[in-house]
Chains A and B, each alone.
Chain A
Amino acid sequence: MTGLLTLLRKELLRFFKVSFQTVAAPIVTALLYLLIFSHAFTAHMQVFGHVPYTAFLIPGLMMMSVLQNAFANTSSSLIQSKITGNLVFVLLSPLKPWELFVAYVGASVIRGLIVGSGVLLVTLWFVPLTFVQPVWIVVFAALGASMLGALGLIAGIWAEKFDQMAAFQNFIITPATFLSGVFYSVQTLPAFWKVASHLNPFFYLIDGFRYGFFGAGDVSPWVSLIAALLGNLLCGGIALVMLLRGTKLRN
């Protein structure tokens, strides 16, 4: 276990040492979104019949921050140590593939949850928020973070240049989070986009997470749970197979 815990600790230190950029910055970004969108829409909207827009938005922004930061942690760590070459020190160690997986994804989950909690802390005083089913909140935050941590691992192993990583981020992760219902309830969308949203795995992560706060969502939390588990299985499975085979790492 010492090997795994050491790598986990190293991955945590890596972002703690630059926490201004890895924790504070995403919290400020989420706060800006909240200020702008709540100013623009609060007067016009209530969601699920009774939830004020600002309250509805907060869990969305929390989850968006969890997902993006979990992804950023594994992907940036992998691509940086690949490009600078210091990944060799991990590859020369007797760490097993599953230990690498648990340590990298574990650090991602922790960063995601820290940033998510930070977003909650700074937005809490804007509007009274309910926590109807706290267990769902924690479960979906953790599943979202681990799924994106695994996805970041895949991207980090696959990408050979910062350029490719940026493409993965800008053309897959960001659109998928923005179009998953962070800022709106998909019920309000035209039929086509509603269906499209239901094909987006991130939608279920956010919807299930929000269910924990309000006891209401666009779909049943159990459906979201199954989707979240499948997403984890898929991303985690691919990442593990890549590590086991040494894809792009040991040729």
Chain B
Amino acid sequence: MTLPAAAVRFEQVVKRYGRHTAVDGVTLDIAEGEFFGLLGPNGAGKTTLISMLAGLTRPTVGRVLVQGHDVQTAPQAARRRLGVVPQELVFDPFFTVREILQIQSGYFGLRRNAVWIDELLHNLGLTAQADKNMRALSGGMKRRVMVAQALVHRPPVIVLDEPTAGVDVELRQSLWDFIARLNAEGHSVLLTTHYLEEAEALCKRIAVIKTGRIVALDRTDALLQRFAASVLYFRLLRGALPPQMAQATQQAGGRVALPVRGPQDVEQTLAALRQAGCEIDELELRRADLEDVFLQLIGAGR
């Protein structure tokens, strides 16, 4: 029996640049139809992973498959199934939006693609810009064109590398509506983003990577529960946190975030703080969000 191929599969992938290891043994399956989030701080290896998936960078060890097609040994088959929105804002200044989309369709062997191109333009709010030169567009509009370019061939696997970086709120919403619709229609989506609330809202499953390794991989809701159900925020006015507490917390601008299991922990925590001679203010208990999970994972062992 053969299992159905994953939309994307990373097998023991390592990427070294000289002595620097950017990706250090990543194994990961993204199922068909999944909306998957890849999170991590800058330099964690997210974009390197995406570049290897896109066939722009070769893995030093391991292999990457798109719907069962190895991106190195069957690049044509893999690329036909893949629509990648690169992170950097790039464009061809010689052409109009519509020309760009016609050209990109042609690269994928599609000669008559006008209906889908019109639909893309409409859904990404580009209809009014269709006959403008790329140079005349704002950054946000160029970003939309890049999304349209990645989708001209209706790829079953859509990869978005920081698609909303520097993009206005309006586009973020309409872009996500559109991508969510494509996902509902069966397209698999792999997303990297810095906006954790976006990932939390959209992604059913999340991998967190740090220095080239996966440090967490789970369903989004499970991840939230596992790491911290709630977070206790307070401002430290005087004294130093007890050592075991200091390790678990994140501090920024005098404000402390301490993960707790729930309200039942609050009393004990406050007692420990009082004993340590701490004086605190602006106490607040909040349900944990992905940012807390992220900060804990990334902060751990720093």
Contacts and interface: CB of A to CB of B under 8 A. Distances in A.
B107 interface: yes
A89 B149 contact: yes
Interface string B109-120: 111000000000
B84 A92 contact: yes
Nearest to A250: B56
A132 interface: no
A188 interface: no
Nearest to A249: B56
Interface string B84-114: 1010101111110001000111111111000
A7 B57 contact: no
A89 to B, nearest CB: 6
Contact of A91 (B56, B92, B103, B109): B56
A2 B56 contact: no
A89 B92 contact: yes
A6 B108 CA distance: 9
Given A10-B103, A93-B108, A250-B57, A86 B91 contact: yes
A94 B90 contact: no
A12 to B, nearest CB: 11
B84 to A, nearest CB: 5
A242 to B, nearest CB: 15
A14 interface: yes
Contacts of A9: 103, 106
A78 to B, nearest CB: 13
Interface string A82-112: 0011101111111110000000000000000
Interface residues of A, number: 27
Interface residues of B, number: 32
B93 A84 contact: yes
A2 B92 CA distance: 20
B173 interface: no
Contacts, number: 78
B54 interface: yes
B63 interface: no
Contacts of A92: 54-56, 79, 82, 84, 86, 150
A92 B151 CA distance: 12
B58 interface: yes
A250 B58 contact: yes
Contacts of B54: 91-92
A92 B86 CA distance: 10
B104 A3 contact: no
Given A13-B94, A84-B93, A250-B57, A90 B107 contact: yes
B86 A6 contact: no
Contacts of B261: none
A87 B238 CA distance: 57
Nearest to B76: A94
A199 interface: no
B162 to A, nearest CB: 14
Interface in A4-53: 5-7, 9-10, 13-14, 17-18
A220 interface: no
A90 B57 CA distance: 14
B107 A6 contact: yes
A86 B94 CA distance: 11
Nearest to A5: B106
Contacts of A13: 94-95, 99
A81 interface: yes
Given A13-B94, A14-B94, A6 B56 contact: no
A251 B92 contact: no
B75 interface: yes
A94 B109 CA distance: 9
A-B pairs, top 3 by smallest CB distance, nearest first, are A6-B106, A85-B90, A93-B107
30 contacts: A2-B110, A3-B106, A3-B107, A6-B103, A6-B106, A7-B106, A9-B103, A10-B106, A84-B90, A84-B91, A84-B92, A84-B93, A85-B90, A89-B90, A91-B54, A91-B55, A91-B56, A92-B54, A92-B55, A92-B79, A92-B82, A92-B84, A93-B107, A93-B108, A94-B80, A95-B107, A246-B58, A250-B56, A250-B57, A250-B58
Interface of A: 2-3, 5-7, 9-10, 13-14, 17-18, 81, 84-86, 88-96, 246, 250-251
Given A9-B106, A10-B95, A89-B90, 14 more contacts: A2-B106, A3-B106, A6-B103, A10-B106, A13-B95, A84-B92, A85-B90, A86-B91, A90-B107, A92-B54, A92-B86, A92-B150, A250-B57, A251-B58
